[in-house]
Structure 1
């Protein structure tokens, strides 16, 4: 079983795995939500980052070990460790999400106030009301209404383009740093299209096609890009250590110059509705 998607530690597994994986204990798990702007999801407690989770992300806690919790993310089923201090258990209804590349949370509905926190694209929000040009969060603070929305985007390409120039970060999932699969997941998730977290999982998730259309995914070993058109793509690349757009023929020639094989084209559904909350 793929450890990234298997909700078990060496000691505790979700009850759904009883009879499938032998563990000393099984649990139904309990729900929690990320209450900090961004947190690394690590392979071991305080270990290497696999991915990141953004503010408001829902998880199922499977085991707590000291200051760390082993969780499974509701967004994509990814499993790993998060700091226990980053999780809360007051699961208010999620009504909005951040639609801008990034935004600030202010202590009052006043842009001249010193910001209390910064949130990235896709952060999930419980909005208690609108006060002028600010959304008041039930968890405290105010976010500019221009930066939030209560429905999905219609096209993942502009979402990906909004993150142009974002620094490349292995395992990153935010405006502060993102990798190739994180960019694809952020763009598709904004459109309510379910998408795994890593490029190999993304390749397995969508059907293969022969022609390139806007929104298609292009794959190489360990790398994925999104087509903006039949001849142009956007991706987070270690070549420039940033998110860039470039012609597909030029990118393919550079990537494949050392013998790296092109793995083909996959097509996500562009109208796969999912519940926001």
Structure 2
């Protein structure tokens, strides 16, 4: 049976038009104005599938195939990204100066089209971004845990995918995509990643519980966005297993080892 999150609803699909997100963060909702399922970031490519309804457009995200409704005002024409944000967050300035007013803030993973450089800043249609916060679009990281650690202290947000708020599967997806590893959006979908593994734990292994996922940091600790701490935090593996079981969410359901170096 196909996953409805990844399969466009035929009766809502009236077109196929490329586009992208032009808001810093856009909620991907299961219905117009309904609950948030996931989020898309500035520059995320997508396909507009449906007509604009009550200020929302039905879309399918390119990065993971997730379908949902996004505010139409947060969408624009597709552009080829040349760079992406590799710092936890950055500002877009009105001029090539940190003293100029900021236009907006962008999260790690946002994609930009750079048209030139001015005194250490990338020039874009939106404004100027510090070059130190960017990397060329084809340059990836090689350690998902190192990426996840950029989000330490980020507030927990159900369905969140940005520096302003992120959940367990959003953190895993951000970490793996940054390393060129395809990754679905939700923890139950992420169970397909890599291959089944057994102890001892290795860095970048994935541990799953019902409705939760964490990245193994080393043989003794993991990193995860969790509602217990209400932020992204490092926790001893044994303590996390005991705590999650004690709060009624059961034992570890899977231990997976993603294949690194995939692009």
TM-score using structure 2 length: 0.95
Check conservation: 1:182, 1:197, Cα contact below 8 A: yes
Cα deviation digits, residues 112-133 of structure 1 (max 9, x gap): 1111000001001111112111
1:142 maps to which residue?
Answer: 128
Task: Spell out the pairing of 1:62-141 with structure 2 (5 A cutoff).
Answer: 62-66=49-53, 67-89=55-77, 91-137=78-124, 139-141=125-127
2:231 maps to which residue?
Answer: 242
Check conservation: 1:8, 1:62, Cα contact below 8 A: no
2:174 maps to which residue?
Answer: 186
1:254 maps to which residue?
Answer: 243
Offset of residue 92 of structure 1? 2.6
Give secondary structure in 1 for the equivalent of 2:183. coil
* Pair 1:230-2:219 in alignment: yes
CA distance in structure 2 between the partners assigned to 1:167 and 1:121 by the alignment:
14
**For structure 1, which runs of at least 5 residues remain unmatched after alignment?**
14-25
1:19 maps to which residue?
Answer: none
Cα deviation digits, residues 229-263 of structure 1 (max 9, x gap): 12110000100100000110111111112361211
Task: Spell out the pairing of 1:55-66 with structure 2 (5 A cutoff).
Answer: 55-66=42-53
CA distance in structure 1 between the partners assigned to 2:118 and 2:141 by the alignment:
24
CA distance in structure 2 between the partners assigned to 1:30 and 1:259 by the alignment:
42
Task: Spell out the pairing of 1:2-17 with structure 2 (5 A cutoff).
Answer: 2-8=3-9, 11-13=11-13
Offset of residue 206 of structure 1? 2.9
CA distance in structure 1 between the partners assigned to 2:227 and 2:75 by the alignment:
31
Offset of residue 55 of structure 1? 0.1
CA distance in structure 2 between the partners assigned to 1:44 and 1:99 by the alignment:
31
TM-score using structure 1 length: 0.90
Give secondary structure in 1 for the equivalent of 2:239. helix
Check conservation: 1:42, 1:49, Cα contact below 8 A: yes
Offset of residue 140 of structure 1? 2.7
* Pair 1:164-2:152 in alignment: yes
Identify which range, 215-224 or 253-262, moves more after superposition: 253-262
CA distance in structure 1 between the partners assigned to 2:151 and 2:30 by the alignment:
26
CA distance in structure 1 between the partners assigned to 2:212 and 2:197 by the alignment:
18
Corresponding residue pairs, total:
257
CA distance in structure 2 between the partners assigned to 1:87 and 1:32 by the alignment:
7
